[in-house]
Amino acid sequence: MPKVMVDFYKLVNALSTALDLIGAGIRHHHIRVALIARQIATELNLSENEINEIVYAALVHDVGISTFKEKAALLNFEIKESYTHCVRGHYLLQTSTLLKPLAKIVLCHHDRWSGANKTGLQGTGIPLASRIIHLADRVDILIDDNQYILDQRELIINNIKKMAGQLFDPYLVDEFLNTSQKPSFWLDLAGGQCEKILLQQMNKQAWQGLCQKNNCKVAINLEELLNISEIFAQVIDAKSNFTHRHSKLVADVSTSMAVLLDFSEAQCQTIKIASLLHDLGKLAIPESILEKPGVLTNTEMNLMKSHTYYTYRILELVPGFEQIKEWAAYHHECLNGSGYPFGIKTEDLSTESRMMAISDIFAALVEDRPYRQGMPRHQVEKILLDKVARQHLDGQLVELLLDNYDQLLICKESV
């Protein structure tokens, strides 16, 4: 299996940034929770490896959430129901060898110290990393971005203190009280520099041998990168019942097209990764727009057009993802330059990007939608050929798809 050099921290950080696109109301939640959790873990004098495991888990702790609605429910300090996203996060992380060690931490990240948890755990039986992330998560929820940070710290500290021994490990609350005395603790969270600050701290440390000092680049085989991309495809697809397998279908169709074009195994795998991530930016789009049964208003359409922009901006955070970024994010660009978000033209659209655009439209047309069933072949063919005539899609690649229509349609049955 071919390997690629990836900066593992930057990959996880990019995916964490994608998770932060979901919902309004908590900005930079994952990165801020990671920063707070790291401060508490450092107070405890844990080993570098333990601290980093906590940071990685914090960066993806809400991976079990896909919708604005689920995210909004977590804004209450004492959440009523939090177990569903913990279980889902646990399930998703277990599918990746590299992220698997974080699964149990994520499962327990809302467990109450005093017990009565669905995990059956309480007190020190709850993993320490989960207890730290739980505390950090609730501190972040209490921060009001509309108020000056240092003016609210007393209130936040008092709210946390009240819950020592109930929601939170009292020993950790003491450590939090120590570290939160410093104004810098709070200023770091509010200054818009969290990412930079955390990166500087992480550069010095390792986790599971995945980062060496000042160099987080590690050789990861493409299969593992595929597993991680599949996790995020599932997060994207879970946003809507009507597109719940869309990313997977686009990936299967574009990979099958790559095979038909005799691309190498590594190229096919890379195309699959880009396809799985092509709608990453849809995490920023409210479900009410994604599921709207009818034509979008101008404002809604303008918002919708931002999704490929976000896909691009997130994937560009990962060094080594330059091609993946373009193949994924250019799927609404057109050969004649009338597409979005960059309006680029033929000469800048690679075969892979053109293929992605075709697979995306094909998948969308054959899938059932809230307002219609999946389209039959004659309608799909008409739409695709019309787009070729208008110089939106590549004619040769559309021909390839039409010549192998039945074979590619099987992908729909297998996703």
Residues in touch with Fe ion (CB under 5 A)? 62, 279, 360
Residue 137 CB, nearest distance to Fe ion (Å)?
Answer: 6
List the structure tokens of 272: 């699959």
Instruction: Give dist(CA 99, CA 121) in Å, integer.
Output: 22
What's the min distance (Å) between Cβ of 85 and Fe ion?
Answer: 6
The residue (of 10 and 248) whose beta carbon lies closer to Fe ion is 248
The C-alpha angle with vertex 415 and arms to 13 and 4, in degrees rounded to 5, equals: 40
Q: Which residue has the tokens 């990861």?
A: 220
Q: Is the Cβ of residue 41 or residue 280 nearer to Fe ion in the bound state?
A: 280
Contacts of 270 (CB under 8 A, 6+ apart): 222, 323, 324, 327
Nearest distance in Å: CB 406, Fe ion: 22
Beta carbons within 10 angstroms of residue 33's beta carbon: 31
Q: Which is nearer to Fe ion, 153 or 248 (CB)?
A: 248
> Which residue's CB is nearer to Fe ion, number 199 or number 344?
344
Cβ-proximal residues to 73 (8 Å cutoff; 6+ apart), any chain: 79, 80, 81
Q: Please, where are the H alpha helices in 94-169?
A: 103-107, 128-142, 149-162
What is the smallest separation between the CB atom of 113 and Fe ion, expressed in angstroms?
16
CA dihedral 80, 85, 91, 96 (to 10 degrees): -140
Q: Which is nearer to Fe ion, 161 or 305 (by Cβ)?
A: 305
Could you tell me the smallest distance in angstroms from the CB atom of residue 306 to Fe ion?
A: 11
Please give the structure tokens belonging to residue 391: 């110089």
Smallest distance from Fe ion to CB 59, Å: 13
- Nearer to Fe ion (CB atom), residue 20 or residue 360: 360
Torsional sign, CA 266, 267, 270, 272: negative
Residue 5's SS3 state is strand
